[in-house]
Amino acid sequence: MQENNLPVNEINPPIPEQGGKSPWGKFIKKGLFIVGFIFVCMVIAYLLSQALFATVPIKGPSMEPTLYTNDRVLLFKLSNYRYGDVVVFKSDLIDEDGDNKYLVKRIIGLPGDTVEIKKDSSGEYSVYLNGERLIEDYLDDIEPHAEETLELMTVPEGQFFFLGDHRTQSTDSRTGILGDLEEIVGRAFLKYHGEDFFNELTPIPRVKSK
């Protein structure tokens, strides 16, 4: 008999899947990864927001008309502070509970600056920074202006001279107290009214640097 020499194609039989793996397993694993990734991102975003920003309620009239009672300010904690910035800081003043008061005021002078309050040529009491009369546009709506003088002084290293915008209603550096730069919590750059962040949300502009 003639031998059949036709080639034979060898076909390996399919190997059955081990363990009965389901496509749902991959789907669940991928879903858990996405959820975990989102959670980690949220934690990082929260920690960054706590490190960079803070909100503070306003009490009292000392910063009117810039800020009013029940306003809230959003602070930026990593800022290079300069003349005209509105800042929140821990002061040497003590409250009724024996704790240091946190104040919101405007920076007028920084270390090495000279500050003086005296009558100008028009008879108004004005602040002089390094010998130049300050043009304080943010006081235009305040009447009356405070009528008092301050002898020429130099701001010491590590400290700053601060004033409230409503000078007749503010306890500030005119009494001899200065702020410590290390005690500044942050610079106010946004304000809103009440608890609603979007209620009258308004930027607090930086005054032109002197």
Give the separation between CA 85 and CA 79, rounded to whole angstroms. 10
Task: Please state the length of the chain.
Answer: 210
Structure tokens at 95: 């409250």
Whether 62 is catalytic: yes
Structure tokens at 86: 């509105």
Whether 105 is catalytic: yes
Given the residues 30, 77, 91, 105, the one annotated as active site: 105
A 10 A CB-CB count for 166 gives 20
Task: Find out whether 192 and 201 touch, Cβ atoms under 8 Å.
Answer: yes
Given the residues 62, 91, 170, 173, the one annotated as active site: 62
Sheet holding 125-129, edge to edge: 132-133, 125-129, 114-119, 150-154
Omega of the bond prior to 65 within 30 degrees of 0, cis? yes
Query: Which of 167, 191, 192 is CA-nearest to residue 108?
Result: 167
Catalytic residues: 62, 105
